[in-house]
Structure 1
Amino acid sequence: MPPTRAHRAADALRRRIALVRARPDAGSITAELTVLLPILVMILLLVVAAGRLAGNRIEVKDAAHQAARAASLARDPITARSRAESTARNALASAGLSCSKLGVSVNVTAFAPGGTARVTVRCAVDLADVTAFGLPGSRTLSATATSAVDTHRGTSGASRSAR
């Protein structure tokens, strides 16, 4: 007796069921990728953000060193303060770092030959600019540097020894 239409349909259904049973995980890779891809993108963006913050921290540290050196080369404490502040601002601007709040504090209490000039630079970096992820808030980066005033050079704020 030739197979009827119902028999052929039943045979086709059995073959499909057998194929599905032979590959029970068909389509699971697509589902896993759909779930994991946004998580992987977020992790990647956080790594980029951490890298940018590390680079910004280096720029703030370099600005503090430049400002301390500029202060130590000045002849008097007032000029040392102004040179340190302008040097820190210029160093950060030339590095392409924009601070939402910038603070430069200069300690020239030991400003005499053989003394020191100490500069602290504080820069509030807006985290929304770090990545396209739009991180909220800001992070304040701070660095302090000290530079020695040359012992063989005169300053107008220091007493000179008798010769």
Structure 2
Amino acid sequence: MTRGRGERGSMAVEAVLLAPVMLIFLLFIVGAARIVEAKGEIDGAARDAARAASVQRDQGSAAAAAAEAAQGLDCAGGPNVSLTGTDWVQGGRVRVTVGCVVDLSAVSGFGFAPSFSMSSTSVVPLEQFRRIQ
């Protein structure tokens, strides 16, 4: 099959027109994946911080343990960890909220803000056999 003279170079024109669209689409996928990855990391940090707090003897040491457990997060300014709980008696629960400002500056020109604030909360029952100090 032979092409007519009118179709000559049409593949090059199509490639030039579609390449920027595909590049923008790929960068959007990268930005969305970064948000999903950050949410998973923050959820894991909240879970780990709540577990670390639940085995402590008092609320003061629990707050310190929760903050230490969440330090691995890659947040602008570090993670923000808040701890609430019951009267720290058997059968009580501890609630840890971890907040983080995620850096999206690498893809900010493609519809994403340069930073994005996220948080996650985890509730864990206080460990019945907590450490004895």
Tell me the percent identity: 36
Unaligned residue ranges in structure 2 (runs of 5+): none
1:11 is aligned to none
Cα RMSD for the two superposed structures: 2.7
SS at match of 2:22: helix
Shift of 1:111: 2.1
Correspondence for 2:57 among 75, 99, 106: 75
1:138 is aligned to 115
Aligned residue pairs, count: 131
Query: Given the superposition, is the C-alpha separation of residues 82 and 154 from structure 1 closer, same or farther in structure 2, using an over 3 Å criterion?
Result: closer
SS at match of 1:117: strand
Compare relative contact order (CA 8 Å, sep 6+) and give the higher one, 1 or 2: 2
Shift of 1:126: 1.3
Correspondence for 1:113 among 90, 94, 103: 90
Q: Structure 1 counterpart of 2:97, which letter?
A: T
Query: Given the superposition, is the C-alpha separation of residues 135 and 116 from structure 1 closer, same or farther in structure 2, using an over 3 Å criterion?
Result: same
Unaligned residue ranges in structure 1 (runs of 5+): 1-18, 93-97, 157-163
Query: Given the superposition, is the C-alpha separation of residues 154 and 135 from structure 1 closer, same or farther in structure 2, using an over 3 Å criterion?
Result: closer
TM-score (norm 1): 0.70
1:99 is aligned to 75
Correspondence for 2:44 among 48, 62, 84: 62
Cα distance in 2, alignment partners of residues 147 and 140 from structure 1? 24
Correspondence for 1:124 among 101, 105, 117: 101
2:16 is aligned to 34
